[in-house]
């Protein structure tokens, strides 16, 4: 496994007036609506303002040729497909897409939709429920069928990483009502998977107390980090500091949703890249959760680690690193 550490000299330098706008092209919408298993209503939320910033992707017309492996993007909790406003928590995938466009990618090779309400005030109540996973699974399937591609690349940020992982590996859903359909595994259709600021083992801020009233931190469908670590159980702050003191200390008492994904022991793609910051204000300092780097995908082929970037800066400044990885061009690192 390759690991790269990055200093803070790299900053996204896209011009301020370089604005990416959607929505889905008419051709993609018409195609979605012609396919009974999809339909544009699965991915278009007309209740959101600035609709041109909430979806992206599609060909200009049916004859347009796609020259790059399509990329499917999944944003994080409270974010959206494209940048909306000045708050970095609503920055979407615009900066990353601009980088890819500079390297020849067209909208016909990049696809994203918004799965939430783009309101950070309600993000604490969002869980990784069946409907989010099924929509993600259907979106990947739709892009594959629409583009005719044998494989796609998938890029996720934060909560979008976990949703995409479950959508790809399929299987039964850890659900309290038993009504979620079993999804087919589709990892053979994924070429590269990029995990940005993921929380594969939960987040230390998601304690048992917080899990009670903040659904995003829930013990079943959230990012609950667990509390049973045999030699650190009663130590205050041990969740993200214990490794530095006495070595690795793991707990298997964490989010059932995350645990279900990890215990399947399935690699979601041919190659996997993990990107994170050691000073992420959401994930927590050091990135440790009970002795494990929570943003390190269990099957990473390569890691890129920043040191002083925020949760969303890590995503927004990752474009060139992702481009180089998926195009197997390591000369730029």
Query: 313 vs 203, 220, 309, 328, CA distance in Å?
Result: 18, 29, 6, 23
Full 3-state SS string of 91-109: CCCHHHHHHHHHCCCCHHH
Q: Please compute the mean of the pLDDT values over residues 250-275 and round it to a whole number.
A: 94
For 329, what's the count of Cα atoms within 13 Å in the CB-facing half-sphere? 8
Q: What is the CATH number of domain 2-204+258-332?
A: 3.40.50.1820
Please give the model's pTM, rounded to 2 decimal places: 0.92
Q: Is the pLDDT of residue 245 over 90?
A: no
* Mean predicted confidence (pLDDT) in 82-92: 90
d(C-alpha 276, C-alpha 127), whole Å: 22
For 10-31, the pLDDT digits (tens) are 334 444 446 789 999 999 999 9
Model confidence pLDDT, tens digit, residues 294-323: 999 999 999 999 999 999 999 999 999 999
DSSP 301-331: SEEEEESS--HHHHHHT-HHHHHHHHTT-GG
End-to-end CA distance of the chain: 15
Residue 173 to residue 166: CA distance in whole angstroms: 9
Burial (CB count within 10 angstroms: exposed 0-12, middle 13-18, buried 19+), residue 319: buried
Q: Where are the domains of the chain?
A: 2-204+258-332
- How would you label 272-307 residue by residue, b for 16+ Cβ within 10 Å and e otherwise? bbbbbbbbbebbbebbbbbbbbbbbbbbbbbbbbbe
> 277-296, pLDDT tens digit by residue?
999 999 999 999 988 899 99
Q: Is a pLDDT exceeding 90 seen at residue 246? A: no
């Amino acid at each position: 496994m390759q690991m790269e550490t990055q200093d803070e000299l790299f900053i996204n330098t896209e011009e301020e007036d370089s604005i990416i706008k959607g929505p889905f092209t008419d051709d993609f919408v018409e195609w979605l609506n012609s396919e009974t298993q999809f339909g544009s209503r699965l991915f278009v939320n007309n209740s959101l303002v600035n609709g041109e910033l909430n979806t992206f992707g599609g060909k200009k017309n049916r004859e347009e040729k796609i020259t790059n492996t399509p990329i499917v993007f999944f944003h994080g909790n409270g974010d959206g497909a494209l940048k909306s406003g000045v708050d970095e928590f609503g920055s979407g995938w615009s900066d990353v897409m601009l980088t890819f466009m500079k390297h020849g990618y067209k909208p016909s090779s990049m696809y994203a939709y918004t799965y939430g309400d783009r309101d950070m005030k309600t993000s604490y109540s969002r869980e990784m429920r069946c409907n989010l996973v099924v929509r993600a699974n259907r979106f990947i399937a739709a892009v594959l069928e629409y583009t005719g591609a044998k494989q796609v690349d998938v890029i996720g940020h934060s909560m979008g990483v976990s949703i995409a992982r479950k959508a790809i590996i399929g299987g039964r859903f850890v659900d309290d009502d038993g009504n979620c359909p079993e999804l087919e595994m589709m990892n053979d259709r994924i070429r590269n998977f990029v995990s940005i600021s993921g929380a594969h083992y939960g987040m230390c801020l998601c304690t048992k107390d917080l899990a009670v009233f903040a659904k995003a931190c829930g013990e079943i469908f959230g990012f609950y980090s667990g509390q049973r670590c045999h030699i650190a159980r009663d130590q205050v702050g041990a969740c993200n500091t214990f490794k530095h003191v006495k070595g690795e200390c793991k707990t298997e008492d964490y989010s059932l949703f995350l645990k279900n994904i990890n215990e399947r022991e399935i690699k979601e793609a041919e190659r996997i890249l993990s990107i994170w910051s050691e000073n992420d204000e959401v994930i927590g300092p050091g990135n440790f959760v009970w002795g494990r780097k929570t943003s390190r995908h269990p099957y990473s082929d390569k890691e890129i680690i920043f040191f002083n970037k925020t949760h969303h800066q890590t995503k927004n400044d990752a474009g060139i690193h992702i481009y180089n990885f998926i195009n197997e061009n390591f000369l730029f690192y």
